[in-house]
Structure 1
Amino acid sequence: MKTSILVLFLTTTFSFFVAAQSIEPIFDEFDGLYQAELGSTQGCVNPEVNVFRVCSSALRNDKNAPYILHHGAKTEKVMVLFHGLSDSPFYFRSIAKAVYQEGFNVVVALLPGHGKIDPDADMEDSELADRWRSHIAKVTAISEQLGDKIYLGGFSTGGALATEYILQHPEKVSGLTLFSGALALDPNVEFMANIWGIQLLAKFLDGDYQSENANPYKYPQVARFAAFELVEVIFSVRELLEKGAKVDLPIFAAHSTADRTTPIVGVKSLMEYNQATSVLYELPKELEICHADVVINEEQVSEIGIDGSLLEEIMPCDVPKANPKHAEMLTNLMAFLAAN
């Protein structure tokens, strides 16, 4: 009798422990977030082991969907990654995989207005920047449950949003990783952002914003209106720094010196404010690595599948090319994460 009671007690205790450690409820929260954003979610065509992906009929395809790479339980560290303007979580695939293989749970979010079959209404939304900010906060809150220490990472616009969030909530995050971080834009774009009525003009010029093009994971162009929403975030980051927001956490940044879209000066300025470790992996100008190419490798380029032979000489940065230093960049990133 005593043996039966002991077995029952141990079984109940073990079941409670397993339930307490389960991350399934976190997946439900993640799915619920995107149900609200996309209208509905559904099963993915090709489910993968240790990948929780939130697919939807509102998205162009499943590889535009947000996802979590998980180890089946909470981990010591969790990385949350936010993509750039006009692209999708696909662009973080190689980086997310590498971080996951280092023992992290990795969350790759989908920013409002992105990855969709019909993004026109989103790309004209006067609340778009605030929707991005709200999404960053919600995804971060969900992700906090997946690990003891949380790191935020961002590519381009995602980097600006992650930086702004950290400046406003420094106690919540253990580190920041930036890839082509959009902390500065071409001076002409920044100047135009201050012109009265420029956003109304941008909406008019954007017209009926389309998503279809040869690249299945990126919109054919950056919406002008959305670009000015990004400028609002960049100006907010600068204002926070100028008003004394504390920057005291490890920062890793990978940036091409040849980047004309987001000049490297913005990232360097942030690092000057930082009181903790700053690591800048600077891609030499002579390599002519375009803004969006910093995060992709040969496998991703092959999957995008664009034949750029007719476009290369006219608009070289419209043709995806693998970052020739991609593997070395990841080695430096892993060393940074191991040390911090």
Structure 2
Amino acid sequence: MLTRTKDLLKLLAQIIVISALTFLAVRAFDAHRSDPLALWHTVVPEEMEADELDRSDWADYLRHEQRLFDQVRSDVTDRLEQAERIPSNRYYDGSPLYPGRFARDWNRSYILEPDGEARGAVVLLHGLTDSPYSLRHIGAHYQESGYVVIAIRLPGHGTVPGGLTQVTWQDWSAATRLAVREAVRRVGPAAPVQLVGFSNGGALAMLYALDVIEDERLPPVDRLILLTPMIGITEMARFAGFAGLPAIFPAFASAAWLGILPEFNPFKYNSFPVNGARQSSLLTRTLQPRIARYRRDGRLDGLPPVITFQSVVDFTVSTRAIITALHAQLPNNGSELVLFDINRNTKFGPLLRPDTETTLTRLLPVAPRDFKTTVITNAAADTSVMVERITEPGETTEQVRPLNLAYPTDVFSLSHVALPFPITDSLYGANPDPEEHYGANLGALAIRGERGVLIMSLDALVRLSWNPFWPYLLERIDEGIVAAERPRP
């Protein structure tokens, strides 16, 4: 029996080794035949690392950030080959997409000051491959509500995709601490401070709140607003670092990238390095066990309220992890999970995957639940009119409130990237603001034609890039602004 077990283990080990070698061989072959890396892939701006960030202030960060953009100008833009000096390249200074030509380069960190005395402060944390642009509309709303807005460009972002090849999640976390320090410095320790985190930024916001429990020297925050937070991602991301191993040989340098694409978006990378996926995976693998451990130890009572906005269907992050690894663990402290259902009035009929219509019921535990849930869904299957279905913790009955909102008939669901953008966003909105222009109206494109003509993936065009429920999102943020102004216990 023992000999048979050893033989089986030996066979299993051989299968694993052969599979790994085959995978690496395929990765090396794909890298060898892929497009060559451009300057924006190979140039790595010299970002501040975690230890230095923890010793620095906002002014230090902005000075260093200026040096980064100067480096991109000298090492990338000024050195482009003639074939790369084309209108569709954001790094060509003659392109309508070149960020340096705009009145404000939203790739950079910024602060928005309210009129009059500040009521509080908010820190905005953007997502992976993203930039401070993504939360600018939410920032403007906080500014109009009397808040100082601190929007930090997280290390590795906003410059060139190569910046993500060496950054670590600890650098992002240290940058979050720096931004919160600046927020408290500007409004004082008694004023409310909120964190808004989008995608990877949502994971960083949650991590900061846990760090406050661990380290009383950190300034506390009063509320977390999480938009499609990266609490969990696909299991394959765990092996992203392994996928990049062939890149140790110069001939297979492209293996260090999961995607090498044209860079036509002025405020977001299209190319995606292996290290970006690996660092996000490490971040979630740090975050989830801490949440569970603090729950077992009874330490989550020190958390501020967490309100999460999440599409039921999400190709980037795990909606299930947000439910089970986050909200199911939180205390009854005013936290809430808001889920945006699919459009049940869609006319796509049999073209939808069979399991799509049951996604919500499969993800959400049957009531009573330990956490508050709000589902934004169709009032009936034959109408686009939306309602809010609220279930309080421990309750089995729903409270239903009609909303003066409707699902567009040609939209079958929200997407991971849609939530922070109104329909009028100049880059991603379906009805872009005519007063602003950033070289392209990506959200307004209704594409018909032949494959292979455009420089962009058709998948990117199908994905919804703006939020039809934007007014509802602002309404719920306003509730949090009022609640956070109550005296701290």
When normalised by structure 2's length, the TM-score is 0.54
Contact between 1:74 and 1:105, CA under 8 Å: does it hold in 2? Answer: no
1:50 aligns to what?
none
1:69 aligns to what?
112
2:475 aligns to what?
331
Q: Which of 226, 230, 235 is the equivalent residue of 2:276?
A: 226
Q: 1:318 to 1:67 in 2, by over 3 A?
A: farther
Which shows bigger deviation, 75-84 or 303-312?
303-312
Which shows bigger deviation, 321-330 or 267-276?
267-276
Q: 1:163 to 1:96 in 2, by over 3 A?
A: same
Q: Which amino acid aligns with 1:30?
A: W
Number of residue equivalences: 292
Which shows bigger deviation, 200-209 or 288-297?
200-209
Q: Which of 117, 132, 141 is the equivalent residue of 2:181?
A: 141
Q: Which amino acid aligns with 2:305?
A: P
Q: Structure 1 unaligned runs (5+)?
A: 1-27, 43-56
Contact between 1:60 and 1:115, CA under 8 Å: does it hold in 2? Answer: no
2:447 aligns to what?
309
After superposition, the C-alpha distances for 1:84-142 in whole angstroms (9 at most, x for unaligned) are: 011111111111111222221111110111111x341x2211x5212111111111111
1:23 aligns to what?
none
After superposition, the C-alpha distances for 1:263-290 in whole angstroms (9 at most, x for unaligned) are: 2223223122222111222111234111
Contact between 1:67 and 1:109, CA under 8 Å: does it hold in 2? Answer: yes
Q: Structure 2 CA distance, aligned partners of 1:212 and 1:314?
A: 13
Contact between 2:257 and 2:272, CA under 8 Å: does it hold in 1? Answer: no
Q: CA RMSD in A?
A: 3.0
Are 1:283 and 2:340 an aligned pair?
yes
Q: Which of 56, 62, 65 is the equivalent residue of 1:34?
A: 62
Q: Which amino acid aligns with 2:164?
A: M
When normalised by structure 1's length, the TM-score is 0.76
Q: Which of 128, 131, 145 is the equivalent residue of 1:88?
A: 131
Aligned-pair identity in percent equals 21
Q: Structure 2 CA distance, aligned partners of 1:183 and 1:324?
A: 24
Contact between 1:252 and 1:333, CA under 8 Å: does it hold in 2? Answer: no
How far did residue 38 of structure 1 move?
4.6
1:178 aligns to what?
226
Which shows bigger deviation, 214-223 or 32-41?
32-41
Q: Which amino acid aligns with 1:154?
A: G
How far did residue 200 of structure 1 move?
3.5
Q: Structure 2 CA distance, aligned partners of 1:149 and 1:208?
A: 40
Q: Structure 2 CA distance, aligned partners of 1:204 and 1:41?
A: 24
Contact between 1:179 and 1:295, CA under 8 Å: does it hold in 2? Answer: yes
1:272 aligns to what?
328
Are 1:236 and 2:281 an aligned pair?
no
How far did residue 214 of structure 1 move?
2.6
1:19 aligns to what?
none
Q: 1:106 to 1:160 in 2, by over 3 A?
A: same
Q: 1:103 to 1:179 in 2, by over 3 A?
A: same
Q: Secondary structure at the match of 2:418?
A: helix
1:189 aligns to what?
237
More helix by share: 1
Q: Secondary structure at the match of 2:318?
A: coil
Q: Structure 2 CA distance, aligned partners of 1:41 and 1:70?
A: 24
**Greater radius of gyration (CA):** 2
After superposition, the C-alpha distances for 1:289-312 in whole angstroms (9 at most, x for unaligned) are: 110111111222235512351589
Contact between 1:294 and 1:322, CA under 8 Å: does it hold in 2? Answer: yes
How far did residue 229 of structure 1 move?
0.3
